[in-house]
Structure 1
Amino acid sequence: MTPQTPPTTQTNPPHSPWENLPTMYDLPSDNPEEPGLPDDFHFLQPLLLFLTFLSPNWNPAQVYSAADLNLYYDLEHPLWHKRPDWFGVVGTSKLYRGEDLRLSYVTWQEPANPFVVVELLSPGTEAEDLGGTQQENRPPRKWDVYERILRIPYYIVFSRYTNELQGFHLVGAQYAPMEFEEGELHLPELGLKLGIWQGEFKGIERLWLRWLTEAGDLIPIPEEEAQQAQQEAQQAQQEAAKANRKAEQLAERLRELGIDPDDL
């Protein structure tokens, strides 16, 4: 029999996929033709805004907010829409006509337009969000929809890449830059401020955009409220235990003086 040639041995180890295959920065998380792709930050940041959007000037039943929900704005073009990263409305119920969870926000069927919109800037959406050049034969840009069509009083943009916060307030017919008050944006009609907060949310430590009271205090999320309640309960227990010890010491002192504390 003719001896068979052994198979060629691989002398160089295969390259690691970690080194050669695309990373998460190279691969989109959704349709590559759609700008503004979803990611972790675009889920967590709107959630924090949702949880802390509590206006003292409005009945909570008449305050609504949503994230990544289609916002329809033009009766003549009923399919045209924008999808804000987060928006808040006052003067409307949390449920559509008080009955059902919303599938979208159709402005011609709602009692109020959004009062404030927050867009989270990303490289693919920055031009659209900040009023870049309008393309021909295309629906109006977000900036134009918010400013001219819906007349939304406050438009705010935040970049997680630069941690830059910008606010615009509707003055007359157009948006004007908002001035910061101690690093925060003040929305007096809501009795709220919006600022950048360094802290941990859902186990992630970073800079977050967050609603504050007019005094600049954090509006707590449910986890923080529960933690605060636990701390207050522990403090109350400690104070009660301290008071009991003092009472026992006083009673012992009275006995040493020949006085029965039970007779007092």
Structure 2
Amino acid sequence: MTPMKYPIEQTDPPRSPRETLPTMYDLPSENPEEPGLPDEFHALQPELLRLTFQPPNSPPGEIFVGTDMNLYYNVRHPNWYKRPDWFAVVGVPRLYDGTDLRLSYVIWQEGISPLVVVELISPGTENEDLGQTTRQPNQPPTKWEVYERILKVPYYVVFDRYTNQLRVFILNGDRYQAVEFIEPRIWIPTLEVGIGLWQGIYQGIDRLWLRWYDAGGNWIPIPQELEAIAQQQAQIAQQQAQTERQRAESERQRADAAEARLQQIQQRMRELGIDPDTLGEG
């Protein structure tokens, strides 16, 4: 689709932003000037976050999760964007207008900023991810400025897989404040889930991963783990049923043996001229 021109001059009464401003259909989902694809970790880690992001107080149909997707944030500069490694928005339809998969996330169309943004540090992005770069003249704002001052993202999470260091910044007023950890995890009350570092195997790789956990402090399982749990529970139930059958069979065998012994005794008594049926009478 041919991009719409901006701004649009009009003499008619103002129309809806969906009619007058670029939408996700007009704005590219990837920048052709940035060739290449994310490395394997940048593919696997967001996937794990997506699979375990299950806020219990938000219906799945009202949650959108974006991975390496262009996020357009300035209606006056519709071509300016940032591309978070992972972000989550609560309170918007899972599908665009309830019907379509998004190509990009366009703030002036959606009306709601991300609640959480996650950046995975690469050797060339550390300074920008941690707000250690400054805006150059006539250039878009830095990533930190966009998340902190423009979108006002409440939780900004930065993970360095090379040092396994987790940093979390919480919006305090209009500035980010770094969280001091007792352990590398943080609870997000508005979501009723938390995010932290988990040591485990995902897609065959054993390392520290970012992962969401529930109110009980338990790591939220992915579908494969749920399947494994279900299989384990089925095996336990099967073993318990087998044990119960064996116990019942043992009880039956003991009862049969006791009955056989009683019959032998009664038969011997008859051979001796004693009627076992009359014992205890008189």
Which TM bucket (shorter chain)? 0.7 to 0.9
Q: Given residue 130 of structure 2, which amino acid in structure 1 is its aligned partner?
A: L
Paired residues, number: 229
Q: Secondary structure at the match of 1:258?
A: helix
Aligned to 2:198: 197
Task: Show the counterpart of 1:186.
Answer: 187
1:179, 1:185 within 8 Å by CA — same for their partners in 2? Answer: no
Q: Which moved more, 1:100-109 or 1:212-221?
A: 212-221
2: CA distance, partners of 1:38 / 1:121: 12
Corresponding position of 1:21: none
1:131 and 1:40 map into 2 onto residues whose CA distance is: 25
* Counterpart in the other structure of 2:123: 123
1:136 to partner: Cα distance:
2.1
Kindly state the Cα deviation for residue 182 of structure 1 after the two structures are TM-superposed. 3.4
Unaligned runs of 5+ in 1: 1-30, 260-264
User: How big is the shift at 1:181?
Assistant: 5.0
Structural mapping, 1:39-188, within 5 Å: 39-134=39-134, 135-180=136-181, 182-188=183-189
Consecutive unaligned residues of structure 2, counting only runs of 5 or more, are: 1-30, 261-282
Once the two structures are TM-superposed, the CA of residue 92 in structure 1 deviates from its matched residue by: 1.0
Relative to structure 1, is the Cα distance of residues 214 and 36 closer, same or farther in structure 2, using a 3 angstrom cutoff? farther
Seen in structure 2, the aligned counterparts of structure 1 residues 35 and 133 have a Cα distance that, compared at 3 Å, is farther
| Aligned-pair identity (%) | 56
Give the secondary-structure state (helix, strand or coil) at the position aligned to 2:162. Answer: coil
Does the Cα contact within 8 Å between 2:166 and 2:184 map onto a contact in 1? Answer: no
For 1:209, give the aligned amino acid.
L
Distance in 2 separating the partners of 1:130 and 1:171: 16
Could you tell me how far apart the structure 2 residues matched to 1:133 and 1:199 are? 34
Please report the TM-score for the alignment, with normalisation by the length of structure 2: 0.77
Q: Counterparts of 2:148 and 2:230 in 1: how far apart (Å)?
A: 42
In the TM superposition, what is the alpha-carbon distance from 1:257 to its structure 2 partner? 2.2
What is the DSSP-based 3-state SS (H/G/I as helix, E as strand, rest coil) of the residue aligned with 2:92? coil
Query: 1: CA distance between counterparts of 2:37 and 2:142?
Result: 17
**TM-score, structure 1 length as denominator?**
0.82
The range that moved more, 213-222 or 172-181, is: 172-181
Superposition pairs of residues 202-217 of structure 1, within 5 angstroms: 202-217=203-218
Is 1:232 the equivalent of 2:245?
no
Deviation per residue, 1:162-197 (Å, 9 max, x gap)? 000000011111111123353311111111111111
Describe the SS at the equivalent of 1:257: helix
C-alpha distance after superposition, 1:196-236 (max 9, x if no partner): 11111111111111111122211011111111111111111
- The 10-residue stretch of structure 1 (250-259 or 160-169) with the greater mean CA deviation from structure 2: 250-259
Give the C-alpha shift of residue 138 in structure 1: 1.3
Higher alpha-carbon deviation: 47-56 or 174-183: 174-183
- CA separation in 2, counterparts of 1:182 and 1:76? 42
1:218 aligns with 2:219: yes
